[in-house]
Each structure stands twice: as structure tokens, then as C-alpha cells.
């Protein structure tokens, strides 16, 4: 998993509440277990018409936001079914950070396991960042996980809270497998000892 330390990039404003996982990646794209290739179908039903043409008004289809790495969204982002394909699709598109007033619990946890930083801020601060994001490609936000800050293009800085363990994992690029591999020496020692004490197992 790619570590997350700092990120400076374009933020796309999505002032919708209750953006659910089916909106993020519709159910017809859940047949794959590959984590790549889903970015082209991110927000598919909002990005494209039924015949596959881009919908010009959707934010990620607008020239200023095609390379967005941050989303500033309304309340309760990632609600709905617990599909891990949702963070996969965001990451494959290039999104590394989502800022909202709240997230659905399962989606929030899945973000950390896939290298995405979900930032929770008060409503007035999200509103200020949303307005900043509306300025387009010239308004680049900076996210610093070590300092736990989001800095708007005008230099205004907002501080966010994060669980220390999740912060450690994200900064060091550790998913569940990576965490296990950190203990590989202890695991090997245990297995060797167990083989000696219980050779019949």
C-alpha cells in the first residue's frame, strides 16, 4: 500500500449529502476482484449518460477537476452497502483524500486499509473548503497527515483528529497484510517453537 504523508492537489467540490457506495461504484462493476480499472467507472451514473457519453456538468468531467486528488463532500459520505470496491474506485481514479463532516463506519475503515485518508471536520470548516474547491484548478489544497492539517489555497489551516494507530498504518503504508509482515520474525519463532513442542500437529 502506498504510504500517505503529505498531499497537495486539486480538490473537487461535491456538495451532496448521503453519497452512498452504489453512487461511488454501481453494483454492475462489482464482478471483479482486481483493484485496478475501476476508476473509469467511479460515479458512473453521474459521470455518463446511458449510452456512455460524458455528462459535462458533473464535477469530475470538468477540465479543472479531471486530475482531482481530493474530494470535499457533504455529510455521511460512503453510506450504503459495505463494498470495498468503493475505495478501490476512488484510489484508481487518483483520489487520496476525502473531506466530509462524517463518514459511514465501514467505508471509513476501508479507506485506511486502501491508502485513502478520510478527514472529518466541522460543518463550517467543510463549507469553507468546499468554497475554496469551487475555485478550480488554481486552488490547490495541502493535506499533512503528520501535522493533521488541511490548508486551503489562501493559507487557512484546519486541524483534524485521527486515531494514532490508523495514522501510523497510513503513514507507513501498512494494510492488514503489511501489519502481519511486521511481526514475521515473531511468527516464525512461534511456528518453530510449536513444531518442536507439538511435532504431531
Provide the β-strand partners of residue 140.
10
In the chain, what are the domain boundaries? 6-197
Q: What would the pLDDT profile of 8-30 be if each residue is shown by its tens digit?
A: 999 999 999 999 999 999 999 98
Residue 184 confidence (pLDDT) above 70? no
pTM above 0.85, yes or no: yes
Closest-CA residue to 134 (of 7, 9, 11): 11
Handedness of CA 136, 131, 25, 27 (dihedral sign): negative
Residue 179 confidence (pLDDT) above 70? no
Closest-CA residue to 62 (of 22, 115, 13): 13
CATH architecture observed for domain 6-197? Alpha-Beta Barrel (3.20)
Average pLDDT of the chain, as a whole number: 92
Query: What is the tally of helices (H) and strands (E) in the chain?
Result: 8, 7
Q: What would the pLDDT profile of 147-166 be if each residue is shown by its tens digit?
A: 999 999 999 999 999 999 99
Q: What would the pLDDT profile of 109-138 be if each residue is shown by its tens digit?
A: 999 999 999 999 999 999 999 999 999 988
Residue 108: C-alpha distances to residues 75, 76, 83, 167 (Å): 13, 10, 12, 13
Residue 71 confidence (pLDDT) above 70? yes
Higher-confidence residue of 184 and 47: namely 47
> What is the strand order of the sheet 117-120 is part of?
117-120, 97-100, 70-73, 6-14, 140-144, 149-151, 157-159
The stretch 176-187 carries a mean pLDDT of: 64
What phi-psi label fits residue 75: left (phi over 0), alpha (psi between -120 and 50 degrees) or beta? beta
Amino acid at each position: 500500500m502506498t504510504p500517505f504523508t503529505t498531499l497537495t492537489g486539486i480538490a473537487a467540490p461535491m456538495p451532496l449529502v448521503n453519497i452512498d457506495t452504489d453512487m461511488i461504484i454501481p453494483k454492475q462493476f462489482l464482478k471483479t476482484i482486481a483493484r485496478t480499472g475501476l476508476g473509469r467507472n467511479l460515479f458512473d451514473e453521474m459521470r455518463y449518460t446511458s449510452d456512455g457519453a460524458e455528462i459535462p456538468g458533473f464535477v469530475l468531467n470538468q477540465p479543472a477537476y479531471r486530475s482531482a486528488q481530493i474530494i470535499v463532500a457533504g455529510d455521511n459520505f460512503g453510506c450504503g452497502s459495505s463494498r470495498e470496491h468503493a475505495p478501490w474506485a476512488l484510489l484508481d481514479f487518483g483520489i487520496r483524500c476525502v473531506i466530509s463532516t462524517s463518514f459511514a463506519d465501514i467505508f471509513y475503515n476501508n479507506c485506511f486499509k486502501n491508502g485513502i485518508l478520510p478527514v472529518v471536520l466541522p460543518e463550517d470548516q467543510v463549507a469553507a473548503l468546499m468554497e475554496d474547491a469551487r475555485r478550480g484548478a488554481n486552488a490547490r489544497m495541502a493535506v499533512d497527515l503528520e501535522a493533521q492539517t488541511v490548508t486551503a489555497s489562501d493559507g487557512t489551516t484546519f486541524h483534524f483528529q485521527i486515531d494514532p494507530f490508523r495514522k501510523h498504518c497510513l503513514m507507513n503504508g501498512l494494510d492488514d497484510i503489511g501489519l502481519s509482515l511486521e511481526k514475521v520474525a515473531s511468527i516464525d519463532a512461534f511456528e518453530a517453537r510449536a513444531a518442536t513442542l507439538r511435532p504431531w500437529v
